[in-house]
Amino acid sequence: MKKEVQVHSLFSEFDIYLFKSGKHFRLYEKFGAHPMELQGEEGVYFAVWAPSAKNVSVIGDFNYWLEGEHPLNVRWDESGIWEGFIPGVKLGDKYKYKIQSSVNDAKLEKADPYALKCERPPNTASIVWDLNYKWKDKKYLESRKETNSLDKPFSIYEVHLGSWKRKVEENRALSYLELAQELVSYVKECGFTHVEFMPIMEYPYDPSWGYQLTGYFAPTSRFGDPQDFMALIDAFHKAGIGVILDWVPSHFPEDKHGLGMFDGSHLYEHPDPRKGYHPDWKSLIFNYGRNEVRSFLISNAVFWLDKYHADGLRVDAVASMLYLDYSREDGQWEPNEHGGRENLDAIQFVRELNTEVYRSFEGVQTIAEESTSFPMVSKPVDIGGLGFGMKWMMGWMHDTLEYFKKDPIYRQYHQNDISFSMTYAFTENFTLPLSHDEVVYGKKSILGRMPGDEWQRFANLRLLYSYMFTHPGTNLLFMGSEFGQHEEWKFSGSLDWHLLEYDLHKGVKETITQLNSLYKKQPALHEKQFEARGFEWISYDDAQNSVLAYMRKGENEKKDLLVVCNFTPGILENYQIGVPRKGKLKEIFNSDAKELGGSGVKNEQVKTAPESWHGREHSVKITIPPLAAVVFQIL
């Protein structure tokens, strides 16, 4: 027996126009389940897009999951939207949409694409919820435009919430509220400026690490309610730490309750499998040429910045979106209208996304995980770029890790590998990533790649991080790498926190803490981190000694820094370095310091001499510690 579903709509004619033209970027205010009072009755307004449906009804624990008890009404305007107000439904009620397709008469049970909360997997129902929360981060948001800008420190700690730390006795991950205590204090202690969460949007399959989403508007229920996740972000903001969310607009899984074949048709995914199916991940690809799909995706990006106060989005797998032939053999893809391999619809979508994000939110950043040489990824849209704030520097990551895993005796033959990144370092606004992808699938941990005996392995690791933090660009480090995790990352377990009982591991963590402090305090390391004028080579061709020397420069030349790296285990004494002016060199960071686990080789304050070297009128003779980086100020 059909129950009363009152005709009601949150959509104006202008909303419908924007939605159908791909320009509605606040769809979460209209679609989904919205608790409200209508004509004196409490209930919930539901709205879902299903243009190929013959019938749509809401099923849930309020009607014993019976089809047809609460049928929705289809709008008259051919928008494909089904909607209606159901009295008596309340917060916490579970529901799905029962959709009968007009394509093949199939009956489908689908979770709400706009659900604010989902059942904890493996259960798949949506839950009526609201986002009422009293934020306490007004002061932080007001200062964000200044503190989150591209000329400020951006040191990111990448975290998988389910495996950062676990309650051993209960064999469970920490909740959002527990993380608000433990993770926030830890990130602050280490000195990172930002935290990045691997995807927290609801996902059904733990081994996907969150990159196969089914609940795009719902933080996963694994760790608590939406308000608990808000409290976690609030706590980070109180500590002055920005929050970046991994976001996945590139593909989605085929789970029956998800977006795939949503109304019996290819609604969200591209109908042509050459554009709509991802062979690597066995997943579906969004149809970026469909206006309503672009509205859905951009609304989702805006949602996390708006309702959850996120400070940035790291956009996953951008390369897979940009190229029609990505992971495809000849004959498995079709060129675009100009005969090229670029996905023109995806490119347009990305530009619209970044335009809207930067137009609507001050002080946020979007970061592209883009692994190819696609041009102008982090350049403004109005000059032909894709409009991202930053791009991951995958070439630096690959070349640097390849160099560091070599025995130091062979590094003299690979000097170009460690210096090559500077030939293209300023073509984009680069983030230097040592991410989760580098510590899985047999690649070993970062420490596990380092050659030599135990002391040398840790010295190499401290040197790698020192080189990373003094290289132009911003930085990202995956959890566990900051204290020298021995084993590869396992999504189902905890980091090996017991390692911090050992001095060498404590020394690595202290190295990261000191490097974060150096990065934040020294303007030469961040003011011009994306500009060629912020870097100057002193020496890059001493392959025999495997030494690099370079200047990092800010607005005030008196605060410029000299960085010298020794990639061999030998101490280099009386090593002559050209300097830009006369003065005294003061050592302000040394990765070989004893408190970091090093041998304690250091330089007392040394004076320059008027002797030409490295093309400069002044020079200085210093001692370079083994497998170490030293940073100097010229006083």
**Using one digit for the tens of pLDDT, what is the confidence trace for 509-542?**
999 999 999 999 999 999 999 999 999 999 999 9
Residue 86 falls within a domain, yes or no? yes
Question: What is the tens place of the pLDDT at every residue in 560-603?
Answer: 999 999 999 999 999 999 999 999 999 999 999 999 999 999 99
- Mean pLDDT value across residues 477-500: 96
What's the CA gap between 538 and 615, in Å, rounded?
A: 9
Cα angle 591, 242, 234 (rounded to 5 degrees) comes to 130
Phi and psi torsions of 464, nearest 5°: -55, -50
The sign one gets for the Cα dihedral 165, 169, 174, 180 is negative
Express each pLDDT in 384-437 by its tens digit. 999 999 999 999 999 999 999 999 999 999 999 999 999 999 999 999 999 999
For 203-237, the pLDDT digits (tens) are: 999 999 999 999 999 999 999 999 999 999 999 99
Per-residue model confidence (pLDDT) at position 161: 97
Buried b (16+ CB within 10 A) or exposed e, 93-107: bbbbbbbbbbeeeee
Q: Is the pLDDT of residue 381 over 80?
A: yes
Residue 73 is assigned to a structural domain of this protein: yes
Q: Is residue 105 part of a domain?
A: yes
Q: Say what percent of the chain tops pLDDT 70.
A: 100
- The whole-angstrom separation of Cα 293 and Cα 300 is 11
Mean pLDDT of 240-256: 97
The domain of 24 spans 13-127
Q: Which residues are annotated as catalytic?
A: 316, 369
* CATH number of the structural domain spanning residue 99: 2.60.40.10
Identify the band that residue 6 occupies on the pLDDT scale cut at 50, 70 and 90.
Answer: confident
Evaluate whether residue 421 is within a structural domain.
Answer: no
Which sign, positive or negative, has the C-alpha torsion 611, 616, 618, 624? negative
Distance CA 201, CA 300 (A): 11
Count the domains in the chain.
Answer: 1
Q: Is residue 24 in a domain?
A: yes
Helix or strand (DSSP H, E) at 17: helix 13-20
| 2: pLDDT strictly greater than 70 | no
- Rounded to whole angstroms, how far apart are CA atoms 55 and 69? 12
Angle of CA points 269, 332, 272, to nearest 5°: 25
Judge whether 514 lies within some domain: no
Beta bridge partners of 488: none
Domain annotation covers residue 96:
yes
Cα–Cα distance, 497 to 483 (Å, whole number): 9
Can you tell me the distance from the alpha carbon of 154 to that of 476, in angstroms, rounded to the nearest whole number? 8
pLDDT confidence tier of residue 3, bands split at 50, 70 and 90: low
90 is a domain residue: yes
Residue-level pLDDT at 169:
82
Q: Rounded distance, CA 625 to CA 568, Å?
A: 9
